[in-house]
Amino acid sequence: MKLIKYWVHTQREYLLIIAAILLFFLSPSVFRMIDPTAGVYDIGVLQNNITAIVSLLIFEVVAWKILCFIWPAIHRYFDKHFVTDFNKLLPWQKISASLALYCFLVFCLVMLSKSISG
């Protein structure tokens, strides 16, 4: 049990891939409960959003692993010092940075959704 807790604590990005895969494979049964005529993987309104979310989560993990491999110093900074540096910011700077990141993630989801639907 300690090994699992250690792995979850040190390798959090893999939890996103596990969640994305579970979301992708469990979504058809949920969609069939909502709409009995839905196909297994129906590229409709709902499945398109799920596919975009799964793609974004996988891309995020891949980008993080590439960052860890190419720039280990930046990876160490994000792991050890980023939270303390972020907490030193003024409130308006924290809000600005958080909103910018949130808007960027929403933009990425919209663009992925658009590219998946064609």
What averages of pLDDT result for each successive group of 10 residues across the chain (118 residues)? 75 77 80 74 67 81 84 87 92 92 86 76
Q: Is 54 helix (H, G, I), strand (E, B) or coil?
A: helix
End-to-end CA distance of the chain: 45
| pLDDT at residue number 45 | 65
| pLDDT at residue number 92 | 94
Report yes or no on whether pTM surpasses 0.75: no
Angle between helices 91-117 and 45-70 (to 10 degrees): 120
Spell out the domain ranges in the chain.
2-117
Q: What is the rounded CA–CA span in Å between residue 49 and residue 53? A: 6
